[in-house]
Amino acid sequence: MTNPAALLPACWSTPWHLAVVDGPDVGWCLPIVARARVVGRGVDADLTLEDPALSRRHVAVRLRGDAVQVRDLASANGTRALLPPRRPRRPRRADAAAPTSRGPAPGRTRRRRAGRAWRIVPPGTVLVAGGSRLEVRARPGRAAPDPPRPDAGLPVARLVTPLLMGLMSVPLLLSSVGSGPLPAWRLALLVAVPALLVVSVVAAVVGHRRERGRDPELPTPDPPTAPPDPPALALLAVRGGPLPEASGMLDVGTETIELDDAASLALVGAPAAVAAMARWVDAQLRLAGRTARVLVASSWHEVPADAGRVVEVGERHVRRVSAGWAEAIVAHLGRPAAPELPATVPLTDLLGARTGPEVLAAWRSPSGTLAAPIGVGAHGPHVLDLAADGPHALVAGTTGAGKSELLLAWILALTATHPPRDLALVLVDYKGGATFAAVADLPHVTGVLTDLDAAATGRALASLRAELRRRERAFALVGARDLPQYRARDPAERVSRLLVVVDEFRTLATELPGFVDGLVRLAAQGRSLGIHLVLATQRPAGAVTAEMRANIGVRICLRVLSSADSLDVVDAPDAAELPAAPGRALVRTTGLSEIQAAWSGGEHDGGPIASAVRHAARLAGELGHGELVDVRTPWAPPLPVDVRRPDVPGVLVTDLPEEQRLGTWSWEGAPLLVTGGPGSGRSTALASLLGARVRAGDHAHVIGRDLARLCPAVGLARGDHPTLGTVVGPEDPRRLARLVTVLESGGARPGTVLVVDDVETATEALDRVGGPGAGTDRLVSLLRRSASLGLRIAVAGAAPGTRWSALVRHHLALGVRDAGSAALAGIPRELVGVALFSGRGVLLGPDGPLAVQVVRDDGAWPTGGGAATPRLHALPDVVDLAALPPSDGEGLVIGVGGDDAGHVRVPLLPGRPWLVVGSPATGRTGVLDMVADLLGDSRRVVRVDPGTQTLPDSPPGVTWLVDDAESLLPEVSDALATLLAGRRERCVVVTTGEAAASSYRGVLAVVRDARTVLLLGSAAGSPAAGVDTRAARDPVLGHLPGRGVLVIGGRASPVQIARVGGSRR
């Protein structure tokens, strides 16, 4: 890609050139030569323009003889040629003696579309390509010849048209020849048509010759002399000027003003438009050899009262010259650097080769100011005093100009002359921290903030605001207006000056816009409270607000790329002309001075001055002057990484930068949500919450998968602690649902704690019992009613932005490290990234977002005092009949069941049969074996099964055990039904769920309305019992032999039936 600036000199050696008169790159020129030159936005174009509407190869231009030709290169948006209007003809002789006061009216611009074929265009043609306009211009000082006439040949169309019409009429005239004498009108036509053809041809030729012999066009009178536009000024700059006689005028786009009037000029408008206009004005002033004070502002209220001329700049003005164009002008018109300033100024030359004792001596005799030498000017060392000249400073400079080195030298000069007791430093480096690494360990430095930890920067700003309020209160107590007066009235309380140095302030303002708002207040109130800012950036435009500029008294501009940037900083364009030597700068306080900034002399340790400051700090402690290095840090220490109970009370350690301290937070029982992925410390947080409430004497229930982590003490996961109630995971949905039912009904003691880990898994488990959506509905209802039910509920999940956050009072978000997840959780931008360690997160609630660290629970829960918490026990997988107590008159002990997994006694009474419903392999036949074993006397037990052919005779009072009732012979089933209907006998009938619900004859018809129904396996959901058994059936372990639901008198309860000798039938 050709540098556009390199094309400017060639425009003086060619008769024609293409000038960019409007668009993003206005001011560049392309010489037109015989070889086709291409304009586009691609790197292979001869003139590359930063116009997004251009194609990569948009339009080509070349020179043929003295004619300029153009053609479109199949561009996306096409190319239009705006041809200049035709000039007026010479007046006729008859009218020559009749002068008029008005000149000839100009013609209209002719519009043509440039096709893919070469087309001749006259001088003054404007090519509209994308968002740019390019004009065909003659070399300055060259008179433009008349353009060639593209229609100089014979008028072929006027010759061919009458010939064709005549030939087409001949057949018509001769069509009736030979059929008789010709009519008179036909004879007249035969004579007239050839005569008309001859007349038409002769008239066309004669007219063409007369047109060629007309007088030449009169030249258009030259317009009044006006200032050159950007392309013309660029060509003049190549030759070193000067401006034409025009130029007592200064062009500002919409108007021209006298150069003398521009001694003080203010440009007001959008920042980008104003910056471009400032570059254009600066270029005109340079070419004219004039100087002026040019101010830029975004609104009228920012214009100072002493501005001489104010020009409002439109956002789309046609003088939007780029920074690269301005640099080319500066390169051609620039001046050499001042020879009297040295190229390098060691800081030791300004301060002397100081040792540790010398620095300590300077600390013991402080000046009370913030004066320090920063470099050498034309009259010797240049000393800046932020307290007197500031209170704040702005430093600007492009990459490599020496901006960071100037900051280091300034910091070292201050630390070598002011004790840490009187000066505290906060260093903000948004270039990764490398700038201030060499001075980070100096005793004055209270902290170094970088872009690698944006959360720490936000924390520091909050602490600085708190420091501002603390100083305001302290000053008000003694009636002091400023820091010197406060020190005089309260010498015992030594308040230091606080200097905040920010490198790459623009990056900081972009990433943390809230930080800028805080600095505005610091800037406004800093002078009286002893707080000072030094803001450094490559380009301050748009980053440093007007409110901050109003309080910036020191402005330093190192070398910048454009005069507009220089104007923006020091109100003069000269910084764009500074030599490339690092450290050369312009300093604006009450006047403008050029200096060579000091060099610290060390890249890694800060050089000899930094070593002397460190030595002085050690000597102060050894010699009993420790008060000199006693620095009050404006913020609290960082959150600890590992906090354990009982070292810290509460559940969380909170960071309170607005109060400059750390605090603690305890859970009082309002609904709480804890979110975090694996390794975030979520289980640790729940264990800490649970332990805190158990220590307070609250009853607690736990729902979670990893119960060993939620209950860390030995035996707690088994539910052995007296105040720990039900401990259940999602693998036991029946018991989990039962716990929710108990809590919903108000069956828990007020203040009971419920901890739900992995709430989404818990809802899925509840759905398996109550159906799809039931789990979410029940937990949402429980959270909403928690206050009225007296419950303290904490739920936990993995995703930070969940539906549960709207139902809780506090949300503890752990492990959130990216902006997307933080936005979902409602975490402010300045706290993104605080979760660098396990247990670190953000607490969201009524008190605002707080960075927190979870306190690890030690598991030492007290075991004495208070009533035991009711628990829902899990049923065992297997129950041996031999392990059960013997049956008595209250009924047969058939297994364990219910909420307490206690012994289940069921009376088997005459006339009150048992109905056992289940499919094969659910243990239904084992129920008959168990009953037979419990009854003992086999003579009083009669078994009937599908193999029974006839019903045996039996005495009254026997117990009938019927297996597979659905498969009995019809006559046997009917006979047994008749017998049971006539005699009140004890009976246990086993069948399937389908048969129990659909049989209306035989023995099943007699027992289908039994009060005692045992539903085994999948039959637990059967309607055979006539009641809803969903809450009692086990959707996970229901397949175990003997596991089922026992319904007595319409009440269903879970049960595990005992087995006899390992029966699994």
Give the pLDDT confidence score for residue 217 in this predicted structure. Answer: 43
**Residues 142-165: pLDDT tens digits?**
655 554 444 444 555 556 666 666
pLDDT band at 592 (very low <50, low <70, confident <90, very high): confident
CA–CA separation, 844 and 673 (whole Å): 10
DSSP symbols for 980-1045: HHHS--EEEEEE-HHHHHH--SHHHHHHTT-SEEEEEGGGGG-GGGSS--TTTS-TTTTTSTTEEE
Kindly report, residue by residue over 402-432, the tens digit of the pLDDT. 998 999 999 999 999 999 999 999 998 887 7
CA dihedral 863, 868, 869, 874 (to 10 degrees): 90
pLDDT digits (tens, 9 = 90+) for 52-94: 999 999 999 999 888 999 999 999 999 999 988 765 544 444 3
Q: CA 943 to CA 951: how far, in whole Å?
A: 10
Task: Tell me which residue of 902, 900, 906 sits closest to 888, measured CA to CA.
Answer: 906
Residues 676-697: what's their mean pLDDT?
87
- Among candidates 913, 943, 895, which has minimal Cα distance to 1042? 895
At 818 the pLDDT is: 82
* DSSP-derived pairing of the beta strands 840-844 and 850-856: antiparallel
- pLDDT value at position 339? 45
pTM: 0.60
For residue 992, the model assigns a pLDDT of 92
What residues form DSSP beta bridges with 797? 675
pLDDT tens digits, 897-942: 999 999 999 999 998 999 999 998 899 999 999 999 998 877 889 9
373 vs 1018: which has the higher pLDDT = 373
The neighbour count for residue 869, using CB atoms within 10 Å, is 21
Phi/psi at 78 (5° precision):
75, 170
Average of per-residue pLDDT across 492-519: 78
577: left (phi over 0), alpha (psi -120 to 50) or beta: alpha
**Averaged pLDDT score across all residues of the chain:** 82
The highest-confidence range among 11-15, 415-419, 431-435, 633-637, by mean pLDDT, is: 415-419
- Of 141-145, 200-204, 504-508, 1009-1013, give the lowest mean pLDDT range: 141-145
Q: Could you tell me if 879 and 930 are in contact, meaning their C-beta atoms sit under 8 angstroms apart?
A: no
Q: Report the pLDDT value the prediction gives residue 99, as an integer from 0 to 100.
A: 33
- What is the model's pLDDT at position 765? 93
H-type alpha helices, 365-478: 386-389, 403-417, 454-478
Distance between CA atoms of residues 256 and 252, nearest Å = 6
pLDDT tens-digit readout, 356-399: 899 999 998 877 788 999 999 888 899 999 888 878 899 999 88
Q: Which of 379, 414, 377, 409 is nearest to 395 (CA)?
A: 409
- What is the model's pLDDT at position 182? 59
Specify the DSSP class assigned to residue 417: H
Whether 767 has a pLDDT exceeding 70, the answer reads: yes
Average pLDDT over residues 471-475: 87
Phi, psi of 270 (to 5 degrees): -60, 145
- CA 480/CA 730 separation, integer angstroms: 66
Cβ count near 298 (within 10 Å): 16
CB-CB neighbours of 817 under 10 Å: 14
SS3 of the chain: helix, strand, coil, percent, to 5: 35, 25, 45
Mean pLDDT of 722-736: 88
pLDDT given for residue 721 in this prediction: 72
Quote the longest CA-to-CA distance of the chain: 156
Query: What number of other Cβ atoms are within 10 A of residue 607's Cβ?
Result: 21
CB atoms within 10 A of CB 530: 24
Residues making up the binding site for ATP: 397-404
Average pLDDT over residues 200-213: 62
Question: Can you give 430-456 as a three-state secondary structure string?
Answer: CCCCCCCHHHCCCCCEEEEEECCCHHH
pLDDT at residue 279 in the model:
85
Distance CA 423, CA 89 (A): 83
pLDDT at 1063: 42
Per-residue pLDDT for 550 more than 90?
A: no
Burial-class residue 318 by CB neighbours within 10 Å (0-12, 13-18, 19+): middle
Query: Each residue of 389-408: pLDDT tens digit?
Result: 878 899 999 888 899 899 99
Cβ neighbours of 818 (radius 10 Å): 9
Share of the chain above pLDDT 90, in %: 31
Binding residues: 397-404
Between 814-818, 823-827, 859-863, the lowest mean confidence (pLDDT) is in 859-863
Q: Is 90 exceeded by the pLDDT of residue 1056?
A: yes
